[in-house]
């Protein structure tokens, strides 16, 4: 299984914005607190304090201008924190990872047979293999295992776990599907014990929302498609 952690330049910038926002919030709060309290109101109060052996504090009125400035800084700090949360939520929930590239063409003078070039990528986007297969069927289909984490973990940058497990052919005619065995090609060792264990225990795990299989299929039309893993499953999109 692959468990990508999506952290890049956008996340670094958002972290710096969050630090600035928190710093502004703390600085403004301390500034307002410091201006609102003092030691003595004048020589008369200081004389009374020495005479009676006691100290007392007083409230000093906050100038309107400073109050408005403090309010503006608080709003700015909260806006930065809110913006950081919104952008990171968007990045965390929409980060798709390319896992494969497929180019499938029908074999000339052969019914329901296609040549499929399959390129696999690791979680860092580096190519790991490039193989071509003869596959029976009209459509190619890629399947894999998905381990879905709660949304708050996705927002923090942890992508759903995934693993491609097989490629197979698919007949568009259900009658052919029943009478002909499609080609099945295991990938990455197929389903493993780790996924099966997580799937059985997902309903009691606080950090696993679900564990399930996912797949995407398209007709062998001679076009090239990228297969991506989203936070919820596999999907294909044409290469432009």
* Segment 63-78, tens digit of pLDDT: 555 556 666 666 776 7
Question: Ranked by mean pLDDT, which of 57-66, 143-152, 196-205, 221-230 comes out on top?
Answer: 221-230
In whole angstroms, give the CA distance from residue 162 to residue 194.
Answer: 12
Helix (H, G, I), strand (E, B) or coil at 212: strand
What is the pLDDT, as a whole number, of residue 179? 87
Q: Averaged over 28-41, what is the pLDDT?
A: 58
Residue 192 binned pLDDT confidence (cut-offs 50, 70, 90)? confident
pLDDT higher at 61 or 152:
152
In whole angstroms, give the CA distance from residue 130 to residue 218.
Answer: 19
Residues β-bridged to residue 166: 143, 186
Q: Output the CA–CA distances (angstroms, integers) from residue 4 to 12, 98, 125, in the order listed.
A: 17, 11, 11
Burial category of 195 from C-beta neighbours within 10 Å (exposed 0-12, middle 13-18, buried 19 and up): buried
Residues whose CB is less than 8 angstroms from the CB of residue 163 and which lie 6 or more positions away in sequence, other chains included: 1, 2, 144, 145, 188, 192, 195
106: tokens are 């029908």
29: enclosing H helix or E strand: helix 9-36
Residue 169 binned pLDDT confidence (cut-offs 50, 70, 90)? very high
Q: Output the CA–CA distances (angstroms, integers) from residue 202 to 50, 197, 205, 211, in the order listed.
A: 70, 8, 5, 7
Mean pLDDT taken over the chain: 79
- In tens, the pLDDT along 100-131 reads 999 999 999 999 999 999 999 998 889 999 99
């Amino acid at each position: 299984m692959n468990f990508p952690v999506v952290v890049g330049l956008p996340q670094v910038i958002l972290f710096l914005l969050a630090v600035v926002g928190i710093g502004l919030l703390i600085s403004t709060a301390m500034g307002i607190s410091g201006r609102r309290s003092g030691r003595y109101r004048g020589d008369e109060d200081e004389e009374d304090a020495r005479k009676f052996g006691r100290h007392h504090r007083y409230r000093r009125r906050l100038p309107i201008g400073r109050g408005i400035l403090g309010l503006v800084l608080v709003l700015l700090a909260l806006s930065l924190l809110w913006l950081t949360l919104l952008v990171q939520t968007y990045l965390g929930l929409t980060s798709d990872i390319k896992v494969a590239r497929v180019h499938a063409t029908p074999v000339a003078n052969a019914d329901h047979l296609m040549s499929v070039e399959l390129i696999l990528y690791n979680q860092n986007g580096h190519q790991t293999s490039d193989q071509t297969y003869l596959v029976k069927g009209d459509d190619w289909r890629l399947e894999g295992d998905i381990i879905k984490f709660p949304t708050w973990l996705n927002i923090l940058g942890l992508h759903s776990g995934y693993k491609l497990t097989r490629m197979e052919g698919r007949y568009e005619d259900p009658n052919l599907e029943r009478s002909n065995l499609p080609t099945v090609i295991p990938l990455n060792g197929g389903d493993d014990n780790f996924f099966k264990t997580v799937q059985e225990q997902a309903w009691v795990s606080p950090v696993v929302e679900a564990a399930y299989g996912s797949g995407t299929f398209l007709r062998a039309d001679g076009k090239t498609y990228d297969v991506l893993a989203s936070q919820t499953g596999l999907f294909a999109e044409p290469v432009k």
